[in-house]
Amino acid sequence: MKETLGSLRSALGEQSSYDAASQCSRCGYCLEDCPTYLATGQESFSGRGRNQIVRMLLEGKISKPEDAEEALSTCLLCGACTAACYARIPTADIVLEGRRMLPGNPSLPAVILTKLLARHPALFRKLLKIAYALKRSGLPRLLRPLLGLLGLGALAEAESAVPEPPRNFLRETLALPPDAGKPGWIYFAACGPDYLFPEIGLATVSLLDRGKGPGAFLRNGCCGLFSYNYGRIEDARFLARRNIEALERSGGEANLVVDCSSCASFLKSYPGLFPPDSPWRSRAERFQSRVRDILEILPDLELSGEDAARKPAPIVYHESCRARNGEGLAPPSALLRRMAGESFRGLPESDVCCGGAGLFAFRHPDLSDAILRRKIAHIAESGAEIVLTSSTSCLVQLARGLSKYYPQARVMHLSIYAAEASARTHGSQTGS
Ligand code: SF4
Ligand code: SF4
């Protein structure tokens, strides 16, 4: 049986998926904000078109549901349509409900990956270590043409997009006391910083330590976003319950700090996973109220800025869709002006998706690349040498795009920039 939520939380309250989709008046006000519509000009690749397709699916008016696959699988789930919509129609959630009804969903690779992440994380970590060792051996690079010939180009792309793999995962490196005493803050190790970019987590923790005093490390699992997006709602609920219990077990009422905006946004959406009459709904609401994206924390830390005499490299900021449209967070412009002075420049369309969106870039490489090229062209126009952002998916996608189309710039997580800039200033002030 297909797993669907059945009802969605929206600006208009709790609604059935059908009512939410039917609420779309087809005004088209969101069209120009939808990256896939802008890239293709096709109605079925817009928020309006996708809402109609899901409504017709639910009405049983699409005789071959697989015909809806292309329109629904190409949605980036970026939420730009909802932000532009006067009624705040939750199109991304409606699209996900539609995807869950399609034959062949979830796919076998998604089932395997989400099972490993949710139910067997220790085995997942072991397999990832083996994959990283293989990558270091250079074998996957040699196999890339073969994967392409076998129609597994997406796998080859995914392998090439992974940067130099870390030898140790973040949770193996962090020296924080787990769940100890009454910490001033609690760090949630999201999968991106944990498995791909441990240096992000280390930078975040050092900033928190300096700015807020001692903290702790939650014994968390994956946030569940991957399971949720790929049709495994029960696995997403399992992970949510586990993370809620872990935070409840930790001492005090400290905030839970997350340095990947995709995960922060999903952790904040936990209440929507549980029916209103479930005791887990209220526990999820308490959990949600304690989650803080690092974007919300950094501006309050007294971080020292770059030394203006150093003439720091020009920087721009790319907004993660999840931070902007999921959490409603503005870019940390005041902080960046304080830290980088005149080196901080505006980026046209900084709020438009980069085309990363988890596995989207590997499933729809041409569409993803069209969206990415537009983003990189804006970065090149700005003359930036450093692009800052706050989500792992954006980091991977922008690194790929910059190395291909504008190698003069590199992408960096906001925490790393803030930690390095303030360490340099601190060092120059103390003469070290
Ligand atoms: S979520 Fe993004 S890609 Fe999907 S319909 Fe809305 S604007 Fe378009
Ligand atoms: S999603 Fe909202 S803005 Fe877009 S067509 Fe429907 S009602 Fe209009």
Check whether 79 has a pLDDT greater than 80: yes
Q: Which ligand is nearest to the CA of 29?
A: 2
Q: Which of 10, 19, 23, 26 to mutate to test the pocket of ligand 2 (most atoms within 8 A of CB)?
A: 26
Read off the pLDDT of each residue in 18-39 and give the average, rounded to a whole number.
94
25 vs 309, residue with greater confidence: 25
201 vs 188, 284, 398, CA distance in Å?
Answer: 9, 24, 19
pLDDT digits (tens, 9 = 90+) for 176-224: 565 556 788 999 999 999 998 999 999 999 999 988 888 989 989 999 9
Read off the pLDDT of each residue in 323-350 and give the average, rounded to a whole number.
92
Residues in contact with ligand 1 by the CB-under-6-Å rule are: 33-36, 47, 50, 75-81, 91-92
pLDDT confidence tier of residue 415, bands split at 50, 70 and 90: very high
Check whether 1 has a pLDDT greater than 80: no
pLDDT value of residue 128: 84
Read off the pLDDT of each residue in 254-275 and give the average, rounded to a whole number.
95
Check whether 150 has a pLDDT greater than 50: no
Check whether 135 has a pLDDT greater than 80: no
278 vs 65, residue with greater confidence: 278
pLDDT value of residue 432: 42
Which atom of ligand 2 has the smallest separation from the CA of 25?
Answer: 7
Which residue's CA is minimally distant from atom 7 of ligand 1? 34
The SS3 call for residue 341 is helix
Q: Is 271:284 a contact under the CB 8 Å cutoff? A: yes
> 107-111, 294-298, 345-349, 385-389: which has the minimum mean pLDDT?
107-111
DSSP string, 200-240: HHHHHHHHHHHHH---EE------SHHHHHTT-HHHHHHHH
In this structure, the number of other CB atoms found within 10 A of the CB of residue 399 comes to 18
Distance, CA 294 to ligand 2 centroid (Å)? 31
Which residue's CA is minimally distant from atom 8 of ligand 2? 27
Check whether 68 has a pLDDT greater than 80: yes
Distance, CA 327 to ligand 2 centroid (Å)? 20
Q: Which ligand is nearest to the CA of 95?
A: 1
Q: Which ligand is nearest to the CA of 31?
A: 2
- Backbone φ and ψ for 179, nearest 5 degrees, come out as 45, 45
Check whether 292 has a pLDDT greater than 70: yes
> 86-95, 174-183, 396-405: which has the minimum mean pLDDT?
174-183
Q: Which of 2-11, 150-159, 375-384, 395-404 has the highest mean pLDDT?
A: 375-384
Which atom of ligand 1 has the smallest separation from the CA of 33?
Answer: 7
Which atom of ligand 1 has the smallest separation from the CA of 79?
Answer: 1
pLDDT value of residue 136: 76
pLDDT value of residue 177: 62
Tokens of 195: 């498995």
Q: How far is CA 58 from the centre of its chain?
A: 29
pLDDT value of residue 356: 86
196, 230, 217: which is closest to 128 by C-alpha? 196
Dihedral-angle region of residue 173 (phi above 0 means left; psi in -120 to 50 means alpha; beta otherwise): alpha
Which atom of ligand 2 has the smallest separation from the CA of 28?
Answer: 5
Percent of the chain residues past pLDDT 70, beyond the cut: 88
Percent of the chain residues past pLDDT 90, beyond the cut: 56
Check whether 100 has a pLDDT greater than 80: yes
- Backbone φ and ψ for 209, nearest 5 degrees, come out as -60, -45
pLDDT value of residue 160: 62
- Please provide the average confidence, as pLDDT, over all residues in the chain: 87
> 72-76, 156-160, 211-215, 408-412: which has the minimum mean pLDDT?
156-160
Residues in contact with ligand 2 by the CB-under-6-Å rule are: 24-30, 47-48, 51, 81, 84-85, 87, 89, 91
pLDDT confidence tier of residue 282, bands split at 50, 70 and 90: very high
Distance, CA 85 to ligand 2 centroid (Å)? 5
pLDDT value of residue 204: 96
pLDDT value of residue 97: 93
Distance, CA 31 to ligand 1 centroid (Å)? 9
Check whether 397 has a pLDDT greater than 80: yes
Q: Which of 78, 85, 93, 319 to mutate to test the pocket of ligand 1 (most atoms within 8 A of CB)?
A: 78
Read off the pLDDT of each residue in 315-319 and give the average, rounded to a whole number.
97
Distance, CA 118 to ligand 1 centroid (Å)? 27
Which residue's CA is minimally distant from atom 4 of ligand 2? 30
Please state, in angstroms and rounded to a whole number, the distance separating the CA atoms of residues 50 and 71.
Answer: 7
Please state, in angstroms and rounded to a whole number, the distance separating the CA atoms of residues 242 and 236.
Answer: 10
Task: Name every residue whose Cβ is closer than 8 Å to that of residue 431 and which is 6 or more positions away in sequence.
Answer: none
DSSP β-ladder status, 186-188 and 216-217: parallel
Distance, CA 293 to ligand 1 centroid (Å)? 23
Read off the pLDDT of each residue in 14-33 and give the average, rounded to a whole number.
93
Q: Which ligand is nearest to the CA of 87?
A: 2
pLDDT value of residue 141: 65
Burial per residue of 14-47, b for 16 or more beta-carbon CB atoms within 10 angstroms, e otherwise: ebebbbbbbbbeeeeebbebbbbbbbeeeebbbb
